[in-house]
Amino acid sequence: MKTNKIYNINCVEGMKEMQDNFVDLVVTSPPYDDLRNYNGYDFQYEEVAKELFRVVKEGGIVVWVVGDRTKNGNKTLTSFKHALCFQNVGFNVHDVMIYQKKNTPFMRSNAYTNCFEYMFVFAKGKPKTFNPLKVPTVRQGLEKMPVNKKADGINNKVLGKLNKEKTRINIWEYAVGLGGSTNDRFAFEHTAIFPEKLAHEHILSWSNENDLVFDPMCGSGTVCKMASLNNRNFIGMDISKKYTELSKRRVGLLKQELKFG
Ligand SMILES: C[S@@+](CC[C@H](N)C(=O)[O-])C[C@H]1O[C@@H](n2cnc3c(N)ncnc32)[C@H](O)[C@@H]1O
């Protein structure tokens, strides 16, 4: 299958055109709980999970961004059903990360406002790439260590060197909407896009330059755009012709600089 292209196809069919062990990284968000109406398409996540396990390389990663809806006062737990399904087809659940939204439009009168979705990180075996994103530590330089007890029980405090930075925690927060998710105003013709920065940060974490990044349900093309801007190859698929065209248009905007607020 040709890379650096967007295909208008049901991804279960589209993946049948891919050879085994082809893809380095998948970053995607499926439709869930009829939250958005994608022209009534029936979404078969079990079939998607099975095909993804076949086309992903040994050590490759699938980042699956999904939330839950409340129906008749009851959380659907669709996210966990998906996660268990991926585990059943052979993936390791490498991490359960949180995508926290800074601005949250949905409110319930008898519960706290939901402000997150899950970012499941599924691995085919042991992850082959991890480029951890870092943050500066609060205290740096030399400092007396609080405890340095030997067998005699005496606390001989010594100077220790503190690291300048540490690996980030697994809750990632993003602004959403225009100016948050993206500055591409036309991308909002799609109703459920996720932040470019989210795609960017997973792409940096779990892939290297020239790797192949795949989004089987690419919607407005966020993942394909960010893969291309980060010198990765990409393949996008979407069952909707309208969204396929939108993705193609979006991926055409490659001259932008990578700037996040
Ligand atoms: C949550 S949206 C993805 C949004 C995307 N992450 C973005 O940033 O724009 C899910 C997408 O899956 C597509 N879709 C639903 N079922 C599909 C299938 N079987 N194969 C391919 N695409 C599908 C829908 O048309 C929709 O655009």
Interval 203-225: pLDDT, tens: 999 999 999 999 999 999 999 99
Q: Measuring from each residue's beta carbon to the nearest atom of ligand 1, which residues come in under 6 Å?
A: 10-12, 29, 31, 38, 41, 43, 190, 192-194, 216-217, 219-220, 222, 237-240, 243
Q: Which domains does the chain have, with CATH numbers?
A: 5-132+168-251 (3.40.50.150), 134-167 (no CATH)
Overall pTM > 0.85: yes
Task: Return d(Cα 219, Cα 58) in angstroms, integer.
Answer: 26
- Give the three-state DSSP class for 117: strand
Nearest residue (by CA) to ligand 1, atom 27, is: 219
Give, in degrees to the nearest 5, the angle at Cα 123 between 31 and 3.
Answer: 65
Q: What is the pLDDT of residues 9-67, one digit of tens each?
A: 999 999 999 999 999 999 999 987 665 545 555 678 999 999 999 999 999 999 999 99
| Of 105 and 136, the one with more pLDDT | 136
Contacts by 106-113 with C-beta closer than 8 Å and gap 24+?
108/70, 111/70
Q: Determine the angle formed by the axes of helices 241-251 and 222-229, rounding to 10 degrees.
A: 20
Closest among 177, 190, 173 to 247, alpha carbons compared = 190
d(CA 28, CA 251): 16
pLDDT at 128 > cutoff 80: yes
Parallel, antiparallel, or unpaired for β 134-136 and 165-167? antiparallel
Q: Which of 123, 119, 241, 255 is nearest to 184 (CA)?
A: 255
Protein residue whose Cα sits closest to atom 12 of ligand 1: 217
Winning range, highest mean pLDDT, from 8-22, 35-49, 103-117, 152-166: 8-22
Confidence category of residue 253, pLDDT binned at 50, 70, 90: low
